[in-house]
Structure 1
Amino acid sequence: MYPVRRCSSHLAALCLSSLGSAPTSAAELKHGLSLTSGPSVSRCGRASCTAPRPLKPSRSSPSLHVSQMGSSSVRFFTTLAQPMSSTPLEHTHPDAEGSDQEQVEPEALLRECEEVLRARPPRPHRDFVRTRASAAHNPQIRVMQWNILAQALGEGKDGFIRCPMEALNWAERKYLILEEILTYRPDIVCLQEVDHYYDTFQPMMSSLGYQSSFCPKPFSPCLDVRGNNGPDGCALFFSRERFRLLGVHHLRLSALALKTNQVAVAATLQCQVTGRALCVVVTHLKARSGWESFRGAQGANLLQQLETILSAQQEAAVPLMVCGDFNAEPGEEVYRRFLNSPLGLDSAYRALSADAVTEPSYTTWKIRPSGESRATLDYVWYSHHGFTADAVLSMPTEEQIGPDRLPSYHYPSDHLSLVCDFSFIQEPHRLM
């Protein structure tokens, strides 16, 4: 049994402070779906866990980083140290462009995560399957797709019978999630089942230099759980240094002419290095077997809405990335719809597989009262006319995952993160 510690020793001494929010009713939360405009060494002990993406040099030595992190880090960790609220969180405004929040250094936060999690076993070691390196004039874009498991569902509804409740304690599980993000340091992060957006992920990611947008489900199942932290939904984060926001849409998906409980966030970004525009989407389709046709209809509706968004762009042929938990195996209708879409999409993990047609054997592996479930449900789709897929992060082995499957003491979600590196395809007029 691993001990559950709420925070590391120096964090325990911090005074708790509120984030401040604009009070909004639960009804307003439910209807917030409007149109708006160098590798690091982690607890796996291997520097090769990440592709070479050098961190900025720390101004402090490892032995002194705690005392030299500064006021912004203190505020950040004060936020992380707060216990899970027993009442739904009030709505706050999205992270504004050009946030004046003080930044913290990712390598210092990664060391802090490792300190908090030192009693837990290390995360599975994963390597990148790489086809080509980055070019200085066209640096790769790293994208993370991850269903992080809503805290309310993990503790109250999902029934992971082989996962001890202590392993799901939010006081430590949030550090596991943060550690995964910090290890791979993506430029774009697409998350599903986010029910701690306002008190954890928005301030945390803003401190790391990300701008974000969050779209809650209209009728989130998290709200049925006693002591919940508000609705779960889809959240999209992107590096302010790398991208400029051109516009964002919050989409509610339809199926069979009916509005559904599933949503998507679609953001049009401009790369600050190349000047190129791209559209990034995060979504989460209906779960459970027996709903295959429903998911197919949701996928068709999402593709239709994305065609409308892309056709309104000022720049022609804006390439697309669609990340999500589709809750669908590759044989399902919704997968075929995306693969054969007129938008010209391909799956990154499929494209970089050994035969260029096979998805991973699994992206989720769990044990519930109904039995053991191993399935491929998560995908990163991309426009093959706009991007090349240069690398994908491999899946951990069965031995690494362990006999009790996911989630566990060493991995915070029942879904594995997908991490992909992309490059813009060079247009002829840009090469002259």
Structure 2
Amino acid sequence: MRVVSWNIHWGCGKDGRIRIHAIIDVLRKLNPDVICLQEVAANHPELEGSATANQFKQLAGAFGGYHAIDYAPSEIYRNNVPRLFGNLILSKYRITQAHRHSLPWPFDPVSPGMPRGAIEVVLDTPRGKLRLVTTHLEYYSALQRGAQVGRLRELHAQACARARAYVPNPEMDAPFQLGELPASAIYCGDFNLQPGAEEYEAMLAPPLSGELALVDAWRARHPDHARAPTAGLHGFAWPEKPDCYDYFFVTEDLRPRIGEVEVQSETGVSDHQPIVLDLV
């Protein structure tokens, strides 16, 4: 099973031009089973390069054999036309559940931030059902980012509790028949935090409610190697130096299945690099 997570910067390269076809080419070469994208835009002419196209539809159309689940927590209307900015999951595997979570957005007088969210899906993989969550946390406000990490941990605890208690009940009405939320999970995306930061440690804090512990897949696979940067390459103005902002966190039961975790550093079509997780 191969999962790719990538903040695509609405397809805008360092020259200020939008090339969604270049994003698609990179993804096709990586040949993932599941694609998790952040900073997908639609009808946003004011973004650098003028992101007027509906990139959610462009990307879903380019991967027609994949199931598409999108969520744009930033939804602004101008002349009754929605301007969307958010996340997208594309999956070769059958998706049996999808949940769109609005993450906390507490008022911060220092930095307003923007609405943030997470997509949670249940995948029917050859090795059984697996939960996958992709998100893009706040960059400018540590207050908001910390609250968002806390909510992700709450959602994880809730899912694990449901997995422990789930019993099928065919007498219940269809909307209640969502089925099992598996405890085994992958959390990925642009977390906008650096290794060792307070929010990073909070994401990996020991379980308090009996849930499966989360581990940093890179650290589990490469304990003796320096972490590869996921941003700050290819001459983009941000950030000032190469650093890591993008992660795969997996539940501890998946640790033995981690085949490889890599950062694809060659491409320069976004200010972030695609990161790849292979589970055997």
Which bracket does the TM-score occupy, shorter chain normalised? Answer: 0.7 to 0.9
Question: How far does residue 392 in structure 1 lie from its aligned partner after superposition?
Answer: 2.0
Change (3 A) 1:303 1:255: farther
SS of the aligned residue for 1:349 comes to helix
Matched, 1:142 2:21: no
Amino acid paired to 1:199: K
1:418 to 2:271 alignment: no
Conserved 8 A contact 2:7-2:272: yes
Aligned to 1:199: 57
1:395 Cα deviation from its structure 2 partner: 4.7
CA distance in 2, matches of 1:417, 1:244: 23
Distance in structure 1 (CA, Å) of the matches to 2:157 and 2:136? 18
Q: Matches of 1:265 and 1:333 in 2, distance apart?
A: 23
Q: Per the alignment, in what secondary structure is the counterpart of residue 28 of structure 2?
A: helix
From 172, 187, 204, the equivalent of 1:339 is 204
- Provide the alpha-carbon RMSD of the alignment: 2.9
Q: Equivalents in 1 of 2:237, 2:107: separation in Å?
A: 34
Q: Distance in 1 between matches of 2:204 and 2:124?
A: 25
Counting only pairs closer than 5 Å after superposition, residues 167-186 of structure 1 correspond to structure 2 as: 168=17, 170=18, 173-186=19-32
Q: TM-score, normalised by structure 2?
A: 0.76
**Distance of 1:232 and 1:326 partners within structure 2:** 16
What do the CA deviations read for 1:201-251 (whole angstroms, capped 9, x no partner)? 12112x2x110100002356xx79xxx983110111110xxx322211000
Task: State the shift of 1:354 in Å.
Answer: 4.7
For 1:318, the equivalent position in structure 2 comes to 183
Q: Find runs of 4+ consecutive structure 1 residues off by over 4 angstroms.
A: 255-260, 366-371
Q: Distance in 2 between matches of 1:286 and 1:377?
A: 11
The alpha-carbon deviation at position 381 of structure 1 amounts to 0.9
Which protein has the larger Cα radius of gyration, Structure 1 or Structure 2?
A: 1
**CA distance in structure 1 between the partners assigned to 2:36 and 2:268 by the alignment:** 18
Counterpart residue type for residue 302 of structure 1: L
Q: Kindly indicate whether residue 214 of structure 2 is the aligned counterpart of residue 364 of structure 1.
A: no
Matches within 5 A, 1:143-162: 143-151=3-11, 154=12
1:389 deviates by 1.0
* Identical pairs, percent: 25
Cα 1:177–1:260 change in 2 (3 A) is closer
Instruction: Report what 1:328 is aligned to.
Output: 193
Larger fraction in strand = 2
The structure-2 alpha-carbon separation of the partners of 1:277 and 1:371, relative to structure 1 and needing over 3 Å to count, comes to closer
> What is the DSSP-based 3-state SS (H/G/I as helix, E as strand, rest coil) of the residue aligned with 1:194?
strand
Secondary structure at 1:328 match in 2: coil
Deviation digits for residues 342-373 of structure 1 (CA, Å, limit 9, x no counterpart): 231112222122517x532x110165668734
1:31-69 alpha-carbon deviations (Å, 9 max, x no partner): xxxxxxxxxxxxxxxxxxxxxxxxxxxxxxxxxxxxxxx
Alignment partner for residue 15 of structure 2, among 160, 164, 167?
A: 164
1:287 corresponds to: 139
Write the mapping of 1:16-415 to structure 2, written as runs, cut at 5 A: 141-151=1-11, 154=12, 163-165=14-16, 168=17, 170=18, 173-195=19-41, 196-205=54-63, 207=64, 209-219=65-75, 230-239=83-92, 243-256=93-106, 261-271=115-125, 273-274=126-127, 276-288=128-140, 291-313=141-163, 314=166, 315=180, 318-342=183-207, 343-355=212-224, 359-360=227-228, 362-365=229-232, 372-387=240-255, 388-396=257-265, 411-415=268-272
Stretches of structure 2 lacking an aligned partner (at least 5 in a row): 42-53, 167-179
Q: In structure 2, what is the Cα distance between the partners aligned to 1:414 and 1:371?
A: 9
| TM-score, reference length from structure 1 | 0.51
Give CA-to-partner distance per residue, 1:99-142, whole Å, 9 cap, x none.
Answer: xxxxxxxxxxxxxxxxxxxxxxxxxxxxxxxxxxxxxxxxxx10
The CA distance in 1 between the partners of 2:200 and 2:143, in whole Å, is 11
Report the secondary structure of 1:364's partner residue: coil
| Residues 218 and 382 (structure 1), Cα distance of their counterparts in 2 relative to 1, 3 Å cut | same
